[in-house]
Amino acid sequence: MPYINIKMTKEDGGATKKQKEKLAKGISKLFDDIFKRGGKTAVITVDEISTDNYFIGTKSISKIRNS
């Protein structure tokens, strides 16, 4: 059983439930297409990270975007 973790920044209120469901379906299908297994048993988690908690070097993404 594959465990797939997707991390993305939380933008404009974050992804909707429908978008996350579509993402999980697409990732599951892609995994199954490539590896020929796990399409129906894949565990998929989506972590949305605040741009205040995502840094490149010493600057947060929020600070970089507001510069």
Q: Which residues are catalytic?
A: 2
DSSP state of 37: S
DSSP state of 42: -
**CA dihedral in degrees (31, 32, 35, 38; nearest 10)?**
90
Q: Round to whole Å and give the CA distance between 3 and 22.
A: 17
